[in-house]
A and B are shown apart, each in its own frame.
Chain A
Amino acid sequence: DAGVIQSPRHEVTEMGQEVTLRCKPISGHDYLFWYRQTMMRGLELLIYFNNNVPIDDSGMPEDRFSAKMPNASFSTLKIQPSEPRDSAVYFCASSLYHIQGRSMNTEAFFGQGTRLTVV
């Protein structure tokens, strides 16, 4: 498996522009997460999906942020309009909730992230 694939790897955009980040989770995984990493706030969970349905979006900072998962193999995180304070690395991760006896496979696999710079 190719792992979690994110695109683009780097994005530089001007303030006010719309930005769309893309993620392809590992095939068969039923959970998908979007995280943001900054020096000031570390790794923050923005939103996560289970079977393509948003479960918890309490980490989405503002209405300018939106995320969709139209099918099991694709998700987007959109920022409109973008602001300089949105500059960060955005990670997508996926996992499979699978019970084997008492143990659950809960490991999250991360993509390589998208470094977003808003100027």
Chain B
Amino acid sequence: AQTVTQSQPEMSVQEAETVTLSCTYDTSESDYYLFWYKQPPSRQMILVIRQEAYKQQNATENRFSVNFQKAAKSFSLKISDSQLGDAAMYFCAYRSEYGNKLVFGAGTILRVKS
């Protein structure tokens, strides 16, 4: 079974600075998908960014980018120019190519200081 590990229960960043959230996963599969979801206090789960394992290029969405290291099974999220609205719980998630369910990490609480 696949597992996803987020080793940072909580992180803080100063507004306008950059922060990186870590995620590692364990799988024996070669094709899969990785996601970062954001959960603000409203508790809505919002997709931030996705990465297909077969793509070598790291995904980028505006201020959000990932560092995908397939051999190391690492999938970190970098948030540049942090804003107060980025404060939330962030979940890393894995999806097999051969199934449709998401396996989530435990989450990282991100606090943004003004």
CB-defined contacts of A43 to chain B, threshold 8 Å = 91, 104, 107
Total cross-chain contacts (CB, 8 A): 48
A-B contacts, 5 of them at CB < 8 A, read A56-B99, A106-B50, A106-B95, A110-B44, A115-B43
CB contact between A89 and one of B37, B43, B100, B103 (< 8 Å): that residue: B43
CB-defined contacts of A33 to chain B, threshold 8 Å = 101-102
Interface size (B, Cβ < 8 Å)? 23
CA distance A92 to B105 in the complex (A): 18
CB-defined contacts of B42 to chain A, threshold 8 Å = 112
B100 and A48 within 8 A (CB): yes
CB-defined contacts of A45 to chain B, threshold 8 Å = 101-103
CB contact between A31 and one of B43, B47, B100, B104 (< 8 Å): that residue: B100
CA distance A109 to B35 in the complex (A): 12
Query: Among residues 63 to 118 in chain A, which have CB atoms less than 8 Å away from a CB atom of chain B?
Result: 89, 91, 93, 95, 97, 102-104, 106-110, 112-113, 115
CB-defined contacts of A107 to chain B, threshold 8 Å = 35, 47, 50
CA distance A45 to B43 in the complex (A): 17
CA distance A43 to B43 in the complex (A): 12
Contact bitstring B72-94, A, C-beta under 8 A = 1, else 0: 00000000000000000001000
A110 and B45 within 8 A (CB): yes
CA distance A108 to B43 in the complex (A): 15
| Contact A48 to B107, CB < 8 A, known contacts A103-B52, A107-B35, A112-B44 | no
CB-defined contacts of B44 to chain A, threshold 8 Å = 110, 112-113
B100 and A106 within 8 A (CB): yes
B35 and A95 within 8 A (CB): no
- The residue in chain A whose Cβ has the minimal distance to the Cβ of B106 is A42
